[in-house]
Amino acid sequence: MQYLLMTYVNEGGWTQLTPAEQEQGVASYRAYVEALVKANAFVGTNRLQRTSAATTVRAVNGKTQVLDGPYADSKEQLAGYFLIDVPDLDAALAWAARCPATSHGVVEVRPIWDMTA
Amino acid sequence: MSPRANDAQRTADAVARHSYGKLVAFLAAQTRDVAAAEDALSEAFAAALATWPQSGCPSNPEAWLMTVARRRLIDGARHRRSGETVAAQLQILAGEPEAVAAPEIPDHRLALMFACTHPAIEEGIRAPLMLQVVLGLDAKSIASAFLTSPAAMSKRLVRAKEKIRQAGISFNIPEREELPSRLDAVLDAIYAAFAEGWSDPGGTDVARRDLTEEVIYLARLMTELLPQSPEVLGLLALMLHADARRSARRDASCEYVPFTEQDIARWDASMIAEAETLLRRACAMGSIGRYQLEGALQSAHVDRRRTGRANWAEVVQLYDALIALADSPVMVVNRALAIAELHGAIAALQSMQALTADTRLAEYQPYWAARAELLAKTGAYDEARDAYGMAIGLERDPAVRNFLLQRQSALPN
């Protein structure tokens, strides 16, 4: 079953890290992806640019509205995702717990809606 | 909160901690309906918090709660069931001695623990079930400890309680010939709960740290209920040994400190002394088992650090004995690290050779961490780097992750 692990972090946090800490952070994520791949759980991942680059689009009374910024204005913002394929929710939670993002943000685990079923 | 309400809350909390399991066990002993007993008890606690602030705490709060809970249980049985069942249930409940009259409520907790770990109960839910029913922990904190969703954990707990009632699992201490294997199931469940508590060695997560304390309380209770069982003593000794070093696992800046570099002064000497006494008592009973061996291993590691005297041959022997009892990949990995000290890293890697075919190990972090250390010692730096990568990717604890990252980057190119 596929699950999307969405990482939400405080965007300002990264720039406050020392270069050594940043290097450690990058290495942690790289190792995490490697472990996912070796365990045959990896489907895909992406890191998102900061929410200052976000644009939000909606239609109000049939008229399209375009706004600068993210949809939700909260301290922790969607920063990236890992799409994984594992047997069940417990396995997905085990991978979420290993995600380096849990030490500086949160990881939301959502099952993918299976369109073929 | 008024001082009186505070007092009521404190008394209720104290009774909840020390008597919850006893009250559930007593209430459910006849009907085997654990869920109904828990519901009745939680209503009794609510009633206590509503009335004690006005009337003052009763002199025997446990008996007070028992009387109220029993009344609720009888009312509940009347409402919920119909026909013959209710008549039978009420007869059972009415037949029990009046709780207030008895100065001491009989302690059926051991029977309750045997019911929770009955072979008919799915193995994975036994430890959570025991934590809930005997200690009164809520599904939410249990779910966090076992890394599962609170909704799923609640459902599985409800199902397990239904099973106890419907399958007619009795609240008995098993007979002599059945006792050893049934006792193993209880001890395994306690240890599983302890191991989950461990997954937060930094003790940063309050719910987890509390879990470790609760589980040690449970093991201590077992030693009081079964003082003549060496494995029970061994399990408590093992857990006390591990817990004694908890604060030494982190330095002042919260970095991870491996066992070999821990500051011995930060170990809890009184816990270690208690563990050693327990192991000696167990040993004198002359029946060896898994938990005594694991306790003895902890003791050997502690002794080596304290005296500076290498005892690797003894350590490898203890692992051999454990592997002979139950062949577990976990023990093989730990033994390899001891073999490395005795016969070198190549021999150690060879001792783990059989494990490489085990697919479960792909996600077993300690295997990769041990492999990385050993490969680094043999000079196979590229392979060591890869193994460190796996260990880092599979680690949940940020402090340990950083420690491993440092080891990885310290490898020569």
Q: What is the per-residue pLDDT across B8-66, written as a single tens digit (0 to 9) for each?
A: 888 888 887 778 899 999 999 878 899 999 999 999 999 998 999 888 888 888 999 99
Q: What is the pLDDT of residue B150?
A: 93
Q: What is the pLDDT of residue B89?
A: 60
Decide if B298 is inside a domain.
no
Decide if B28 is inside a domain.
yes
Q: In DSSP terms, which residues pair with A109 in a beta bridge?
A: A5
For the cut 80, the answer to whether the pLDDT of residue B278 exceeds it is yes
Q: Provide the CA B294 distance to its chain's centre, in angstroms.
A: 15
Half-sphere exposure of B2 (CA within 13 A, CB side): 9
Q: What is the pLDDT of residue B76?
A: 77
Decide if B128 is inside a domain.
no
Question: What token pair was written down for B119?
Answer: 């072979």
For the cut 80, the answer to whether the pLDDT of residue A8 exceeds it is yes
Q: What is the pLDDT of residue B101?
A: 47
Look at chain B and report how many structural domains it folds into: 1
A93 touches chain B (CB under 8 A): yes
Do residues B335 and B351 touch, judged by C-beta distance below 8 A? yes
The better pLDDT of the pair B253, A36 is held by A36
Q: What is the pLDDT of residue B12?
A: 82
Contact B389 A35 (CB under 8 A): yes
What's the gap in Å between the CA of B194 and the closest CA on chain A?
Answer: 18
pLDDT band at B84 (very low <50, low <70, confident <90, very high): low
B394 touches chain A (CB under 8 A): yes
Do residues B276 and B241 touch, judged by C-beta distance below 8 A? no
Spell A16-43 as b/e; 16+ CB within 10 A means b: eeeeeeeebbebbbebbebbbebbebbe
Contact A35 B390 (CB under 8 A): yes
Nearest 5°: the CA angle B175, B181, B182 is 60
Q: Which one, of B120, B133, B125, lies nearest residue B218 by Cα? A: B133
Distance CA B262, CA B266 (A): 8
Span A15-32, average pLDDT: 92
A28 touches chain B (CB under 8 A): yes
For the cut 90, the answer to whether the pLDDT of residue A109 exceeds it is yes
Span B109-116, average pLDDT: 92
Pairing of strands A105-111, A55-60: unpaired
Span A81-99, average pLDDT: 95
A1 touches chain B (CB under 8 A): no
For the cut 50, the answer to whether the pLDDT of residue B100 exceeds it is no
Q: Which residues have a Cβ under 8 Å from the Cβ of B208 and sit 6 or more positions away?
A: B144, B145, B196, B197, B199, B200
For the cut 60, the answer to whether the pLDDT of residue B202 exceeds it is no
Chain A residues closer than 8 Å to B394 by CB: 35, 98
Q: What is the pLDDT of residue B33?
A: 92
% of chain A surpassing 90 pLDDT: 83
Decide if B252 is inside a domain.
no
- For residue B395, the chain A residue with the least C-alpha distance is A98
B408 touches chain A (CB under 8 A): yes
- For residue A32, the chain B residue with the least C-alpha distance is B393
Q: What is the pLDDT of residue B88?
A: 60
Chain B residues closer than 8 Å to A90 by CB: 147-148, 152
What's the gap in Å between the CA of A18 and the closest CA on chain B?
Answer: 14
Range of the domain at B73: 1-107
Span B362-387, average pLDDT: 95
Token pair 């392979």 is at which residue? B383
| Cα-based torsion angle of the residue sequence B248, B194, B303, B324 in order, rounded to the nearest 10 degrees | -140
% of chain B surpassing 90 pLDDT: 60
Span B272-278, average pLDDT: 98
Q: What is the pLDDT of residue B94?
A: 57
CATH numbers and ranges of domains, chain A: 2-111 (3.30.70.1060)
By Cβ distance, the residue of B148, B390, B405 closest to A38 is B390
Count of residues in chain B = 413
Decide if B103 is inside a domain.
yes
Contact B392 A39 (CB under 8 A): no
For the cut 60, the answer to whether the pLDDT of residue B308 exceeds it is yes
ipTM: 0.84
Q: Which one, of B301, B366, B363, B356, lies nearest residue B333 by Cα? A: B366
Decide if B36 is inside a domain.
yes
| Cα-based torsion angle of the residue sequence B232, B235, B236, B237 in order, rounded to the nearest 10 degrees | 120
What's the gap in Å between the CA of B386 and the closest CA on chain A?
Answer: 9
Decide if B13 is inside a domain.
yes
Q: What is the pLDDT of residue B97?
A: 46
Contact A32 B363 (CB under 8 A): no
Q: What is the pLDDT of residue B373?
A: 96
A26 touches chain B (CB under 8 A): no
Q: What is the pLDDT of residue B90?
A: 57
Span B366-372, average pLDDT: 95
pLDDT band at A27 (very low <50, low <70, confident <90, very high): very high
pLDDT band at B99 (very low <50, low <70, confident <90, very high): very low
Distance CA B269, CA B25 (A): 35
Average model confidence (pLDDT) across chain B: 88
